[in-house]
């Protein structure tokens, strides 16, 4: 390998630098996984030394290749690569591997370490994120690239690479991702499989006997290998072969030895998840011919790895192409720049206001899932970056709109375009994910991480269990992803307890950094969407009803975005004796109970609609006190587990702590006590017990 100054360093020496850093960092931390980076070092030389298009000085360059270390426990591989190639990751950070506030966490974290594209660790999600990134690249290229005569304006033209191991292929989400990547013909997605046959428990053969090559072939992939993963030249040639075809994603099977170079631990589980130990490290240094001390990298090795000059030249060439593109297509260039920056258009604020006000003016009685679709009609028309989808429940989730035709690809893998109302040919913006809730959620994370689109996807709320860890990862990574969860309660009726959400709203609210909304009508739903789209640094879950919900009369709309507001005060100038807090479909019950209490018992209550507990919790103390005054008994009403509500100092909860039943929704509401009479009786019992 040579840099521009003519310094020549052998691929083996470059790989051994990674092995040495991995050994030393794990030993210094007395924690970590040295085996994977040592085994994948030669693969890394082939990719990062020969093919990867990136600029260490600008990790956010729009047209860079994306690299995902799906087997994230091997984090010292990527930390070594980032350090060696010239990213802002000094050696001192490697010496602080796995230590508090270092930039070298146990598993790679996006936003913490320059050059890390996604947070990996939960196996299978990295490859799935990579599928999302490759999809975003393909769709952006189709949307923005232009050809003017003989001039190609290819401003979006990069690959997505991922390293993955046996664990990623064992996880069910791995197959979800593999299948979709093949169906979508993601020709610029290249996965390198670290086929070492070892996991924490030892040789994987007794529990992982798949014919991996045929599995990928059956899913529509181009499969190369098996090849010797320790021969950087062969791996580099295989990558070139994969890049030469664009019809299918590629898998390169690299046969490797975990802990390569360690005389006594290579090829064994002992190299997987613990330090090699001082004695074995000394023996490994000797076996590798690496004569340098801990964390010592010779100048010629640094020079051989240094990618700053080449990266700057690549970005400069792209900048020149983009300047020509901007001159030829100024509006498109401005739109591309805006979207890659993650900025909403200037008109969004007005669109949001108009959508909410229109919902209020129409005052329609519809299911909140339908209210969501009504809001989406406006937002998808105004925001071309909205990329929707559903896990085989489009007709139930109502995630499609007039502006989002189904995404389809032709036999050559090109995006199928249809004529829009304005005569423009546009690609599909609604994805049929199939029955793959987890895959959908993690792919949406990848799309968001890539930039250029705001992804949203739908399924039933109960099935959020399938996608839970990807939702958590979106929150951890602070990504703008919107989950549309419909059929949010026993109100879905006859499908029964397998489909009726009980604990789901409460458990989603416990995920740090996730906004959860359970709106009660069209206006609250429109506001929820507005806030979700404006959330640059957090995902959102919208919990929506199957059954129709009446519009709730309001004095104003301004406080809905705060997550909770006073919907109805007692009639006349009566002073409230209690507060009923309700969410979603149960707010109408609260209003009916308020009327019943006033008419039949002379009891005055305030009704608070709390569509988003997570938003309300972040409000100023004065506002929260104004909505929920001290000294007034509080009664919560929600079709879900009661435990969650005690945090608000309630005296009682009208909820459900059992699984549901199969029956028409009105029958279930009466059976489980979701009636205005039961809510009123609960308020009376609380007041009587004071």
Active site residues: 437
Cα of 92 vs its chain's centroid, Å: 31
C-alpha count within 13 angstroms, C-beta hemisphere, residue 258: 30
Assess contact for 549 and 368: CB atoms under 8 A.
yes
- Provide the residue count of the chain: 690
Phi, psi of 265 (to 5 degrees): -120, -15
Count the neighbouring beta carbons within 10 Å of the beta carbon of residue 327: 10
In DSSP notation, 5-65 reads T--B--HHHHHHHHHHHHHHHHHHHT-S--HHHHHHHHHHHHHHHHT----TT-TT-TTPP
As a whole number of angstroms, the distance between CA 200 and CA 210 comes to 18
SS3 category, 103: coil
What is the torsion angle, in degrees rounded to the nearest 10, for the CA atoms of residue 136, residue 142, residue 148 and residue 153? 10
What is the torsion angle, in degrees rounded to the nearest 10, for the CA atoms of residue 219, residue 222, residue 223 and residue 228? -150
Instruction: Report the DSSP pairing between strands 417-419 and 565-568.
Output: unpaired
Residue that has been written with the tokens 């290749």 in this structure:
65
Structure tokens given for 594? 């308020």
The secondary structure of the chain in percent helix, strand, coil, rounded to multiples of 5, reads 45, 15, 40
ω into 267 cis (within 30 of 0) = no
Quick one: which H or E segment has residue 619? Answer: none
Which residues, 6 or more positions from 688, have their beta carbon under 8 angstroms from its beta carbon? none
In DSSP notation, 163-187 reads EE-HHHHHSHHHHHHHHHHHHTT-T
Per DSSP, 580 falls in state: E
Cα of 17 vs its chain's centroid, Å: 33
680-683 long-range contacts, CB within 8 A, separation 24+: 680/593, 680/596, 680/597, 680/600, 680/601, 682/635, 682/652, 682/654, 683/578, 683/580, 683/593, 683/597, 683/603, 683/605, 683/635, 683/652
As a whole number of angstroms, the distance between CA 295 and CA 416 comes to 52
As a whole number of angstroms, the distance between CA 167 and CA 355 comes to 46
Query: Directed axis angle between helix 35-50 and helix 232-244, to 10°?
Result: 60
Structure tokens given for 531? 């806030």
Count the neighbouring beta carbons within 10 Å of the beta carbon of residue 555: 11
As a whole number of angstroms, the distance between CA 176 and CA 440 comes to 9
Q: Per residue, what are the HEC states of 626-649?
A: HHCCCCCCEEEECCCCCHHHHHHC
Per DSSP, 306 falls in state: -
Residue that has been written with the tokens 């909205």 in this structure:
386
Assess contact for 541 and 510: CB atoms under 8 A.
no
Closest residue by Cα to residue 644 from 688, 610, 667, 675? 610
């Amino acid at each position: 390998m040579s840099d521009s100054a003519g310094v020549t360093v052998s691929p083996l020496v470059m790989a051994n630098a990674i092995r040495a850093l991995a050994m030393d960092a794990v030993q210094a931390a007395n924690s970590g996984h040295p085996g994977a980076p040592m085994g994948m070092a030669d693969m890394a030389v082939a990719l990062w030394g020969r093919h990867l298009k990136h600029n260490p000085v600008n990790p956010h360059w729009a047209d860079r290749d994306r690299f995902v270390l799906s087997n994230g426990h091997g984090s010292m591989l990527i930390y070594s690569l980032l350090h060696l190639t010239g990213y802002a990751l000094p050696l001192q950070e490697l010496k602080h591997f796995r230590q508090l506030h270092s930039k070298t966490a146990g598993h790679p974290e996006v936003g913490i370490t320059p050059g890390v594209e996604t947070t990996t660790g939960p196996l299978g999600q990295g490859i799935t994120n990579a599928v999302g990134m490759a999809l975003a690249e393909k769709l952006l290229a189709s949307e923005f690239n232009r050809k003017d005569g003989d001039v190609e304006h290819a401003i979006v033209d990069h690959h997505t690479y991922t390293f993955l191991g046996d664990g990623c292929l064992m996880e069910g989400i791995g197959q979800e991702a593999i299948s979709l990547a093949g169906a979508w013909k993601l020709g610029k997605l290249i996965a390198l499989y670290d086929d070492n046959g070892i996991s924490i428990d030892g040789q994987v053969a007794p529990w992982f006997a798949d014919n991996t090559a045929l599995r990928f072939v059956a899913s529509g992939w181009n499969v190369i290998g098996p090849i010797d993963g320790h021969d950087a030249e062969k791996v580099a040639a295989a990558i070139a072969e994969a890049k030469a075809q664009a019809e299918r994603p590629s898998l390169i099977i690299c046969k490797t030895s975990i802990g390569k170079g360690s005389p006594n631990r290579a090829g064994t589980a002992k190299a997987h998840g613990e330090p090699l130990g001082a004695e074995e490290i000394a023996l490994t240094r000797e076996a590798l011919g690496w004569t340098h001390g801990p964390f010592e990298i010779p100048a010629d090795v640094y020079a051989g790895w240094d990618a700053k000059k080449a990266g700057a030249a690549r970005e400069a060439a792209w900048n020149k192409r983009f300047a020509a593109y901007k001159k030829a297509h100024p509006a498109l260039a401005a739109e591309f720049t805006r979207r890659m920056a993650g900025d909403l258009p200037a008109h969004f604020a007005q669109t949001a206001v108009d959508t909410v006000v229109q919902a209020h003016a129409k005052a329609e009685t519809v299911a909140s899932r339908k209210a969501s679709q009504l809001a989406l009609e406006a937002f998808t028309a105004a925001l071309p970056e909205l990329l929707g989808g559903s896990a085989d429940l489009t007709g139930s989730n109502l995630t499609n709109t007039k502006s989002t035709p189904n995404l389809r690809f032709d036999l050559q893998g090109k995006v199928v375009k249809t004529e829009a109302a304005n005569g423009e040919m546009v690609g599909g913006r609604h994805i049929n994910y199939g029955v793959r809730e987890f895959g959908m959620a993690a792919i949406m994370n990848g799309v968001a991480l890539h930039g250029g689109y705001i992804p949203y996807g739908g399924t039933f709320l109960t099935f959020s269990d399938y996608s839970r860890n990807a939702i958590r990862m979106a929150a951890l990574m602070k990504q703008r992803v919107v989950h549309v969860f419909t059929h949010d309660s026993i109100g879905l009726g006859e499908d029964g307890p397998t489909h009726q959400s009980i604990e789901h709203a409460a458990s989603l609210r416990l995920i740090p950094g996730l906004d959860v909304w359970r709106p009660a009508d069209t206006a609250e739903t429109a506001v929820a969407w507005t806030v979700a789209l404006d959330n640059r640094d957090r995902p959102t879950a919208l919990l929506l009803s199957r059954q129709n919900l009446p519009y709730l009369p309001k004095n104003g709309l301004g406080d809905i975005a705060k997550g909770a507001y006073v919907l109805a005060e007692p009639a006349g100038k009566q002073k409230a004796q209690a507060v009923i807090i309700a969410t979603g479909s149960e707010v109408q019950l609260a209003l009916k109970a308020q009327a019943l209490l006033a008419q039949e018992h002379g009891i005055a209550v305030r009704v608070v609609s709390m569509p988003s507990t997570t938003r309300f919790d972040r409000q100023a103390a004065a506002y929260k006190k104004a909505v929920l005054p001290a000294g007034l008994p509080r009664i919560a009403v929600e079709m879900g587990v009661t435990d969650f509500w005690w945090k608000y100092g309630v005296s009682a909860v009208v909820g459900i702590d059992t699984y549901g039943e199969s029956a028409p929704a009105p029958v279930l509401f009466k059976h489980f006590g979701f009636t205005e009479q039961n809510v009123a009786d609960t308020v009376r019992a609380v007041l009587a017990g004071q």
